[in-house]
C-alpha cells in the first residue's frame, strides 16, 4: 500500500514563499528507509508529463488532466480532478498548497500558469452563462457564484453599479456544498442552481434567488457538474471567484470602484 511521509524542505522554502503547504515524499511499499531522497535532484531532470501523470495515478490515485512547467526549477504544476498540486519532476515529492515567487511583486505560480487553461475552459461554457451586460461595455468578467454566498449576494445587489462602469458580468454556477450530499444524492445547493439555470428567465430567477425568494424546481440538460469540476481544477474552492479577460483570477468580492480600477490597471 502506498504511503505518504511528510518532509520539510528548506530548499523549496528558500526558493519561494509557501503558504499553508504540505510536502509529501511519495513512495511505494515499506517506508523504513529514506535514502532515496539522496537521488539526483529533480531540478536536473526534464519534465516528462506522461511519466508524472502515470506515477501520480499509480501512487496516489489522482487523475491528472495537465502538467505545467513553473518558474521553480524541478517543480511542475499538476492539474487534477481533485484540484491543483505541485510535484517534483521525478514524482518523488508532492506539494499541497500555494507557492509564490518573490520578485518585483509576489506572484502565485499556479495563477501565472493557469491563465490559458482558464480561458480555454471558460470558452466551452459561454452558451450556459447568465450574463448581465453593460450598456457601454469596457470589460468582461466571469464570476463563479452561489446563491448561499453572502458576498455573492452583495456583488449581485450592486450589478447596476458594475454595469455603469462598463463591466459586463457573466455568471457560472459553483455550488459550495458540492454536487452530491453525504447520502450520495444531489446536494440542495446543486439542485437550486440547476433550477435557476434551467429557468425560462435565468437572469430574473438568479436575481430573485439572491434576494431570498423561493426557487421553482427545474430539471434540464445543463453542464453544471462539468462546470463545477472545471472550477475545482483551476483552483476555485470558494465564491465569488472572478476571472478576467486575460485569464488571471482574483478570489473574493471586489466592490465596483475597486474592480474598475483593477481592470483599468491591466
Q: Give the separation between CA 73 and CA 99, rounded to whole angstroms.
A: 13
Tell me which residue of 46, 90, 98 sits closest to 69, measured CA to CA.
46
Q: Give the separation between CA 121 and CA 116, rounded to whole angstroms.
A: 9
Q: Go through the domains of the chain in sequence order and give each one's CATH number.
A: 3-114 (3.10.450.70), 124-264 (3.40.30.10)
pLDDT tens digits along 129-157: 999 999 999 999 999 999 999 999 999 99
The percentage of the chain sitting over the pLDDT mark of 90, rounded to a whole number, equals: 65
Sheet holding 167-173, edge to edge: 130-132, 167-173, 139-145, 241-243, 249-251
CB 191 within 8 A of CB 217: yes
Q: Does the pTM exceed 0.85?
A: no
Q: Please give the C-alpha separations between residue 255 and each of 221, 250, 261, 262, in angstroms, as whole numbers.
A: 34, 13, 10, 11
CB 117 within 8 A of CB 245: no
Mean pLDDT of 213-225: 94
Q: Is 247 left (phi over 0), alpha (psi -120 to 50) or beta?
A: left
Q: Give the separation between CA 55 and CA 92, rounded to whole angstroms.
A: 9
In sequence order, the β-bridge partners of residue 86 are 77, 95
pLDDT tens digits along 144-202: 999 999 999 999 999 999 999 999 999 999 999 999 999 999 999 999 999 999 999 99
Instruction: Give the count of beta carbons closer than 10 Å to the beta carbon of residue 43.
Output: 14
Mean pLDDT of 92-96: 92
Q: Which residues are catalytic?
A: 146, 149, 152, 176
Amino acid at each position: 500500500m502506498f504511503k505518504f511521509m511528510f518532509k520539510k524542505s528548506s530548499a523549496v522554502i528558500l526558493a519561494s514563499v509557501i503558504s499553508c503547504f504540505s510536502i509529501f515524499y511519495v513512495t511505494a511499499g515499506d517506508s523504513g528507509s529514506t535514502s532515496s531522497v539522496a537521488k539526483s535532484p529533480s531540478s536536473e531532470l526534464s519534465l516528462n508529463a506522461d511519466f508524472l501523470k502515470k506515477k501520480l495515478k499509480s501512487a496516489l490515485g489522482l487523475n491528472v488532466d495537465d502538467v505545467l512547467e513553473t518558474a521553480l526549477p524541478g517543480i511542475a504544476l499538476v492539474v487534477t480532478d481533485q484540484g491543483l498540486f505541485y510535484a517534483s519532476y521525478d514524482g518523488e515529492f508532492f506539494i499541497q498548497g500555494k507557492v509564490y515567487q518573490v520578485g518585483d511583486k509576489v506572484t502565485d505560480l499556479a495563477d501565472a500558469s493557469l491563465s490559458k487553461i482558464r480561458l480555454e475552459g471558460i470558452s466551452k461554457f459561454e452558451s450556459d452563462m447568465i450574463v448581465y451586460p453593460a450598456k457601454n461595455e469596457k470589460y468582461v468578467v466571469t464570476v463563479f457564484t452561489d446563491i448561499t454566498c453572502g458576498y455573492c449576494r452583495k456583488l449581485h445587489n450592486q450589478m447596476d453599479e458594475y454595469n455603469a462602469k462598463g463591466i459586463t458580468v457573466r455568471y457560472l454556477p459553483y455550488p459550495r456544498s458540492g454536487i452530491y450530499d453525504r447520502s450520495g444524492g444531489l446536494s440542495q445547493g446543486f439542485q437550486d442552481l440547476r433550477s435557476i439555470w434551467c429557468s425560462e428567465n435565468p437572469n430574473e430567477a438568479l436575481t430573485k434567488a439572491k434576494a431570498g425568494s423561493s426557487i421553482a424546481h427545474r430539471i434540464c440538460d445543463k453542464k453544471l457538474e462539468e462546470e463545477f469540476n472545471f472550477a475545482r481544477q483551476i483552483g476555485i474552492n470558494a465564491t465569488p471567484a472572478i476571472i478576467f479577460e486575460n485569464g488571471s483570477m482574483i478570489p473574493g468580492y471586489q466592490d465596483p470602484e475597486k474592480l474598475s480600477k483593477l481592470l483599468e490597471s491591466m
